[in-house]
């Protein structure tokens, strides 16, 4: 693999456009399929694949303000017929920017060469609406598709004439790609056209960052006798994007070329200047202004310690509506309620609502208003991207967090993540990199991680087994840290009924067959500083009988688990979202007619210093208890570690499947 620059995903349709201050169109002839393409039934490199790309082409023409996309797909299985359903997403912007999809054409070619043209009309649907932006899709289905068909379609993506958009070439997809061609005809930046960014900075040359297969390279040539240059890439035999268990954000590893118009020649020059401007812009928004300053006087006492002050301010921000999890309010709604356009944190406090980033800025403003040194930092969302310093664009930075210095120590806060406990970060913002405000402007930083003790799940079962093999009792699922945040956010997205259903379903997936569950109650649903506890009623059959013996799972929460790492080899690091602890306690009471024959023996093991596992069994006259502790202290394990890592997990998961054996007690002789 040849890696140059960043590993970052940024959907081409929504990348920042540069303003104009002052790809040739695809051939309209369809490709004639070869006899081999018509008759092929598989791709040897990917046996069982539903389909393959025969050819993909993207052409960008700056002078026409247009992208042209051309696609040929061979359907190999029934599942591959799904690729006949095409959905083309694009963005509309209220200020007149954005994109339009035009000139959609398509056809289906059967394996005998019969051609069925697409004559329908694509329909348009709304995918998502946020303030100032509508994400739309043009949707259509190619006709009469069968196994063996070739699907062929093309379209044009246009954007406004007063802007230019550099392309992003995403080369690796979910299918094997036989051949791809990418072409960009950029404007001549040495001519009369001057490109400027949002604040008027000159964009004087084209740069790119790439992750490419060995031997592939972007080429740049000048057309003889013209001022037109061509930037081009040809690739072939591109495997599908990897898909394995517990992967890092796959967008950080797939082949791509990301272009951008640049105005700086070095990384340090870019980040120093753009970071300084970003930091000043943040300060202008943060303030604090008079409304925030007045508010904090009512929230804190002069005698409060810094910790007490921050806790009160954090709680006040958490009570506000976070429109990241509810909805954006339209301009008309804002005006109807007497609100003007948002310019600073005073406006957010007055509204009692704001986006996740705005609420974070408000918390920083409040901390400053009580005399503390407070800053914002902006990081990549680790669920999607990795920050790459050599990719010279702020667009790779996603989310804002707060940093407050108390007694010379930086403390990190995540008020923009609803229900995130005080003094912690949601996992997607931990161990993430970006830039932050400092007293002299801005600088790089790495957000800290959380210890495994922060994110815990406790699974406790207290069950009674009767003579007929039926069990009744209760399960209590207690969630702390990130698992609790996850369930609380699911509650915001739905309601109490949907949360009950989703928690019940998640526990059902852990249970052996024959167990029925009912959520009786969920405690501390909105108290983000407390564990979230779900109390579940249990009934059903458990285990199996073989003659005089009854076999029961030792840890019922692991009895339905599948191997985490079934593949012997791995080329991609193993990646967990966050350090965590899972603690199980299963107690089963049984009738006097049964006695314990055997329990899973105690086991304690570890993988290096990163993972710890303990299983302990205890017996009593009429019950047994199995306790299991699993601690994950690190989140990233590289391919050279995989063999030993997989062996550890295999042994642990085999141990989890060991059973408890009960036997029928001998009858007591009469008269004794």
Confidence (pLDDT) at 341: 82
| pLDDT value at residue 129 | 67
How distant is the alpha carbon of residue 604 from its chain centre? Answer: 34
- Residue 2 — pLDDT band, cuts 50, 70, 90? very low
pLDDT per position as a tens digit, 166-183: 898 999 999 999 999 999
* Burial of residue 668, with CB atoms counted within 10 A of its CB: 0-12 exposed, 13-18 middle, 19 or more buried: exposed
Q: What is the pLDDT of residue 267?
A: 84
User: What is the reported pLDDT for 20?
Assistant: 36
Choice between 668 and 229, residue whose per-residue pLDDT is larger: 229
Closest CA to 465 of 338, 575, 596: 596
Angle of helix 267-286 relative to helix 356-369, nearest 10 degrees, comes to: 70
Burial of 60 (0-12, 13-18, 19+ CB in 10 A): buried
Q: Compute CA distances 332 → 120, 198, 328, 337, 351, whole Å.
A: 37, 26, 12, 9, 14
Contact of 91 with 133, CB cutoff 8 Å: yes
pLDDT in tens, 321-336: 998 888 666 666 667 7
**Domains, the chain, ordered by start:** 2-263 (2.60.40.3140), 269-446 (3.10.620.30), 456-664 (2.60.120.1130)
**What's the rounded Cα separation, in Å, for the pair 72 and 86?**
12
- Are 170 and 15 in contact, with CB atoms under 8 Å apart? no
Share of the chain above pLDDT 90, in %: 67
Supply the pLDDT for residue 8.
Answer: 27
Question: Above 50 in pLDDT, residue 616?
Answer: yes
Query: Distance between CA 461 and CA 474 in Å, rounded?
Result: 6
Question: What pLDDT is stored for residue 25 in this prediction?
Answer: 39
Mapping DSSP to helix (H, G, I), strand (E, B) and coil, where does residue 203 land? strand
Selected residue with higher pLDDT from 462 and 199: 462
CA distance 375 to 642: 40
SS3 585: strand
Q: Please check the confidence at residue 528 and state whether its pLDDT lies above 60.
A: yes
Which of 372-383 are b and which e, b meaning 16 or more Cβ less than 10 Å from the residue's Cβ? bebbbbbbbebe
SS3 of residue 458 by DSSP: strand
Q: CA 149, CA 170: separation in Å to the nearest integer?
A: 25
> What are the tokens at 233?
């890439």
User: Minimal CA–CA distance to 158: which of 84, 27, 22, 59?
Assistant: 59
Q: What is the pLDDT of residue 329?
A: 63
Rounded distance between C-alpha atoms, residue 367 and residue 380, angstroms:
24
Say what angle helices 290-299 and 306-318 make with each other, to 10 degrees.
Answer: 110
> What pLDDT does residue 497 have?
92
What gap in Å lies between CA 382 and CA 388, rounded to an integer? 12
Q: CA–CA distance from 52 to each of 37, 78, 110, 173, 239 (Å)?
A: 11, 13, 15, 10, 10
Residue 98 in this model has a pLDDT that exceeds 90: no
Q: What are the backbone dihedrals phi and psi of residue 184, each rounded to the nearest 5 degrees, phi first?
A: -130, 130
pLDDT reported for residue 194: 64
Q: Calculate the CA 639 to chain-centre distance.
A: 22
pLDDT band per the 50, 70, 90 thresholds, residue 192: low
pLDDT at residue 657, rounded to an integer: 94
**Local structure of residue 98 (DSSP, 8 states):** B
What is the mean pLDDT of the segment spanning 435-455?
A: 94
Q: Is the pTM of this model over 0.85?
A: no
pLDDT band (50, 70, 90) for residue 131: low
Query: From CA 155, how far away is CA 69, in angstroms rounded?
Result: 6
Strand 532-541 and strand 549-553: the pairing is: unpaired
Pairing of strands 51-61, 176-185: parallel
Q: What's the CA angle centered on 530, arms 527 and 533, to 5 degrees?
A: 95
3-state secondary structure of 80: helix
Compute the Cα dihedral for 262, 264, 266, 270 and give only its sign. negative
**What are the structure tokens assigned to 310, written together?**
């921050």
Q: Specify the higher pLDDT residue, 342 or 76.
A: 76
What 3 state SS string does 130-194 have?
ECCEEEEEEEEECCCCCCCCEEEEEEEEEECCCEECCCEEECCCCCEEEEEEEEEECCCCCCCCC
Torsion of CA 117, 118, 120, 124, to 10 degrees: -170
Whether 467 shows a pLDDT value over 60: the answer reads yes
In this prediction, residue 26 carries a pLDDT of 41
- The 10 Å Cβ neighbour count of residue 218 is 16
- Residue 672 is predicted with a pLDDT of 44
| pLDDT (average), residues 425-449 | 94
Tell me the pLDDT of the chain averaged across its residues. Answer: 88
- Tens digit of each residue's pLDDT (9 = 90 or more) over 262-317: 777 788 888 988 899 999 999 999 999 999 999 999 999 999 999 999 999 999 99
pLDDT at 547: 80
Long-range contacts of 475-478 (CB under 8 A, 24+ apart): 475/507, 475/517, 475/535, 475/536, 475/538, 476/533, 476/534, 476/535, 476/536, 477/503, 477/507, 477/533, 477/534, 477/536, 478/531, 478/532, 478/533, 478/534
- Nearest partner of 649 among 616, 600, 613, 609, judged by Cα: 613
Number of Cβ within 10 Å of residue 84's Cβ equals: 22
- Output DSSP code: residue 525: S
Planar angle of CA 619, 625, 630, nearest 5 degrees:
130
pLDDT value of residue 54: 97
Residue with tokens 């994007």: 241
pLDDT, residue 334, reads: 67
**Number of CB atoms found within 10 A of residue 177's CB:** 21
Non-local (6+) Cβ contacts of 298 within 8 A are: none
Record the tokens describing residue 79, joined without a space. 């599942």
- Assess whether pLDDT exceeds 70 at residue 237: yes
Mean pLDDT of all residues in 472-483: 97
Handedness of CA 40, 42, 44, 49 (dihedral sign): positive
Query: In the structure, what pLDDT confidence band is assigned to residue 21 with cuts at 50, 70 and 90?
Result: very low
What average pLDDT score do residues 661-669 get? 71
Residues 6+ apart with CB under 8 A from 374: 363, 364, 365, 367, 368, 402, 403, 404, 405
What's the pLDDT tens digit per position in 535-588?
999 999 998 888 888 999 999 999 999 999 999 998 889 999 999 999 999 999
**Do the Cβ atoms of 152 and 32 come closer than 8 Å?**
no
Eight-class DSSP state of 422: T
Residue 637's SS3 state is: strand
Strand order in the sheet with 195-196: 163-164, 18-20, 195-196, 202-203
């Amino acid at each position: 693999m040849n890696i140059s620059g960043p590993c970052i995903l940024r959907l081409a349709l929504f990348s920042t456009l540069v303003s104009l201050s002052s790809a040739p169109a695809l051939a309209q002839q369809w490709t004639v399929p070869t006899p081999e393409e018509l008759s092929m039934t598989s791709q040897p490199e990917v046996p069982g694949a539903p389909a393959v790309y025969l050819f993909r082409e993207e052409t960008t023409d700056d002078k026409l303000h247009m992208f042209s996309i051309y696609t040929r797909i061979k359907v190999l299985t029934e599942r591959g017929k799904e690729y006949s359903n095409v959905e083309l997403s694009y963005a509309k912007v209220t200020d007149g920017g954005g994109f339009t999809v035009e000139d959609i054409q398509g056809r289906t070619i059967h394996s005998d060469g019969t051609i069925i043209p697409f004559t329908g009309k694509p329909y348009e649907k709304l995918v998502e609406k946020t303030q100032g932006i509508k994400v739309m899709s043009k949707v259509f289905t190619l006709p009469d598709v069968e196994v063996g068909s070739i699907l062929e379609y093309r379209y044009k993506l246009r954007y406004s004439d007063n802007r230019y958009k550099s392309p992003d070439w995403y080369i690796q997809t979910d299918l094997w790609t036989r051949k791809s061609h990418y072409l960009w005809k950029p404007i001549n930046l040495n001519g009369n056209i001057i490109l400027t960014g949002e604040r008027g900075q000159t964009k004087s040359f084209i740069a790119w960052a790439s992750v490419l297969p060995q031997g592939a390279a972007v080429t740049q040539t000048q057309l003889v006798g013209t001022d037109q240059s061509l930037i081009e890439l040809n690739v072939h035999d591109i495997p599908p994007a990897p898909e394995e268990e517990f992967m890092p954000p796959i967008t950080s590893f797939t082949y791509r070329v990301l272009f951008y118009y640049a105005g700086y020649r070095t990384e340090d020059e870019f980040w120093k200047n753009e970071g300084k401007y970003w930091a000043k812009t943040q300060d202008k928004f943060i303030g604090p202004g008079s409304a925030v300053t007045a508010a904090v006087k009512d929230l804190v006492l002069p005698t409060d310690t810094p910790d007490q002050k921050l806790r009160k301010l954090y709680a006040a921000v958490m009570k506000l509506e976070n429109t990241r999890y509810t909805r954006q309010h339209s301009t008309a709604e804002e005006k109807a309620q007497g609100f003007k356009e948002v310019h600073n944190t005073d406006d957010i406090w007055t509204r009692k609502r704001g986006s996740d980033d705005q609420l974070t800025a408000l918390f920083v403003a409040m901390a400053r208003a009580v005399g503390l040194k407070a800053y914002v930092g902006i990081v990549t969302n680790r669920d999607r991207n990795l920050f790459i310093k050599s990719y010279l664009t702020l667009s790779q930075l996603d989310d804002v967090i707060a940093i407050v210095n108390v007694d010379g120590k930086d403390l990190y806060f995540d008020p923009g993540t609803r229900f995130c406990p005080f003094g912690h970060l949601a996992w997607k913002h931990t161990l993430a990199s970006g830039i932050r405000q400092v007293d002299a402007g801005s600088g790089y930083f790495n957000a800290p991680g959380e210890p495994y003790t922060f994110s815990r799940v406790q699974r406790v079962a207290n069950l009674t087994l009767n003579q007929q093999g039926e069990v009744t009792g209760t399960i209590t699922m207690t969630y702390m840290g990130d698992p609790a945040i996850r369930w609380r956010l699911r509650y915001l997205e739905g309601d109490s009924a949907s949360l009950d259903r989703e928690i019940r379903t998640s526990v059902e997936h852990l249970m052996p067959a024959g167990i029925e569950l009912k959520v009786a109650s969920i405690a501390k649903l909105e108290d983000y500083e407390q564990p979230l506890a779900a109390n579940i009623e249990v009934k059903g059959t458990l285990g199996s009988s073989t003659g005089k013996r009854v076999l029961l799972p030792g840890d019922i929460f692991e009895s339905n688990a599948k191997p985490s790492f079934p593949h012997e080899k791995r080329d991609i690091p193993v990646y967990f979202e966050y350090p965590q602890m899972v603690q199980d306690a299963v107690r089963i009471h049984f009738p006097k007619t049964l006695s314990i024959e055997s329990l899973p023996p105690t086991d304690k093991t570890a993988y290096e210093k990163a993972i710890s596992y303990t299983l302990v069994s205890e017996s009593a006259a009429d019950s047994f208890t199995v306790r299991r502790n699993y601690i994950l202290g690190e989140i990233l394990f590289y391919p050279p570690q995989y063999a030993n890592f997989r062996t550890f997990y295999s042994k642990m998961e085999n141990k989890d499947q060991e059973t408890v054996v009960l036997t029928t007690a001998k009858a007591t002789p009469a008269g004794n």
